[in-house]
Amino acid sequence: MFAPEDRVIVAVSGGADSVCLLHLLREIGANVAGVAHFNHKLRGAESDADEAFVASLASRFGAPFYRAEASELRGNLEQEARRARRGFLTGLIRDGAGNRVALGHTRDDQAETVLFRVMRGSGLAGLAGILPVTREGFVRPMLGVRRCEVLAYLRARGIEWREDASNLDRRFSRNRIRHELMPMLAKEWNPKIVDALANLADLAYEESSESPRALERGAVRKAIKEAKGDLRGIEFQHIESVIEMTGSRLRIPGVEVIRSMGSIRIQKPGSRSQVQAITVTVPGTYASPDGNSEIRLEPCVNLKVEMAGPLVLRGWRPGDHYRRVGKSRDQKIKEMFQRARVPLWQRREWPILEYDGEILWAREFGPAEGSPVIVTETLRPHPMR
């Protein structure tokens, strides 16, 4: 939202959210270039007292104070007031007072906006709700913060704010949503209704803009459905936990997620099959343990070695090591996996050719020094897993 050189104007009404925003931006060292207040003139002396309160805050912080007031408002008071305030703030950017305007919208505001637009039959772009950053230069740093967290922050620090009595006026649709509809939905339908609606806004925003996050979510949902057969029990937070996972394993309803070497694999729990070792002869052609290739074995004509014991084709086992051609010492195959960035789920079925307890060959890593067998591997075409 901010680059070091940005000059931020903070829009402050005097209410809890915007006062919290001003204190937070000062606390993190943002370059506050001014404090802006729009006086709606709807509550007479109280509106003027709000303006005086904000002006004193700006003075205390040593920031320029910008103010404007509403002319006569007609028609829809909410829409007209919003339009006038936005014009004032946009004008400050245009006139060079700053290049960013920070607004104090919270996660609760986002949820209320989405619900309002759902009821109006909004499309996908509308369901994105309040945008965190706009082309005009508006930013909303607290869009992921709940209103209760704002109040807790202010109370813990003894910071004063102004209460706007018009926020209780049921003539305004926003107030009816906030004080009547949202509490009813939380009580009778979903106690986490704010998070559910705010998550919907995130999804709608990313899907409508086809952001990388939206593509990631789509890929994860598709992989879960393929592994599990359906998406029952899978919720928003499960998809997010997969995308953001930092550990090596994660369990969500019906699937196991493994992260390794920058990739993830989604599979049914316990779907790892036991790798069976098979006895092979030279010459001969065999399927690899993972079924992804055919392995052709031929004798090395330059070496005259009698092979008394059986040859075994198997998967990798912890502790496997051998000396490859051109190397001066044995190396653990696990170390080779790490350098080659082979993910965990491929390792157990990694083809290994063994004779009398000694490894003669391993996929990609090649033959052992002095191996009497030539191994040729041909990959089979197969779908991505």
What digits encode the pLDDT tens for the residues 214-261?
A: 788 888 999 999 998 888 888 888 988 998 888 889 999 999 999 988
pLDDT digit string (tens) for 342-356? 998 889 999 999 998
Ranked by mean pLDDT, the top range of 184-198, 306-320, 369-383 is: 184-198
* pLDDT category of residue 18 using cuts at 50, 70 and 90: very high
Confidence of residue 213 (pLDDT cuts 50, 70, 90): confident
Does the N-terminal peptide bond of residue 283 adopt cis geometry, omega within 30 degrees of 0?
yes
The predicted structure's pLDDT at residue 82: 81
For the cut 50, the answer to whether the pLDDT of residue 155 exceeds it is yes
Cβ proximity of 127 and 115 under 8 Å? no
pLDDT in tens, 39-83: 887 777 888 899 999 999 999 999 999 998 877 656 566 677 788
How confident is the model at residue 212, as a pLDDT?
A: 76
pLDDT of residue 375: 93
pLDDT for the residue numbered 306: 66
Strands 65-69, 32-39: pairing is parallel
Q: Residues 370, 303: contact at Cβ < 8 Å?
A: yes
Is the pLDDT at 383 greater than 60, yes or no?
A: no
Q: What are the start and end residues of each CATH 3.40.50.620 domain in the chain?
A: 8-205
Given pLDDT bands bounded at 50, 70 and 90, which one contains residue 21?
A: very high
CB 57 within 8 A of CB 191: no
Q: 3-state class of 234 per DSSP?
A: coil
Which pLDDT value is given to residue 75? 59
Two structure tokens written together for 51: 């303006």
- The candidate with the shortest Cα–Cα distance to 364, out of 295, 305, 318, is 295
Q: Name the band, by pLDDT with cuts 50, 70 and 90, for residue 385.
A: very low
What mean pLDDT is predicted for residues 285-312?
A: 81
Contacts 24+ apart (CB under 8 A), 188-194: 193/111, 194/107, 194/108, 194/111, 194/146
Angstrom distance (rounded) from CA 245 to CA 209: 24
The DSSP output letter for 313 is E
Dihedral pair phi/psi, residue 310, rounded to 5°: -80, 150
Dihedral sign for Cα atoms in the order 129, 133, 139, 141? positive
Rounded Cα distance, 182 and 116, in Å: 11
pTM (predicted TM-score): 0.57
User: What CATH superfamily classification does 8-205 receive?
Assistant: HUPs (3.40.50.620)
Tokens 């703030």, located at residue: 89
**In Å, what is the CA distance from 180 to each residue of 168, 187, 306?**
11, 11, 88
Distance CA 95, CA 80 (A): 22
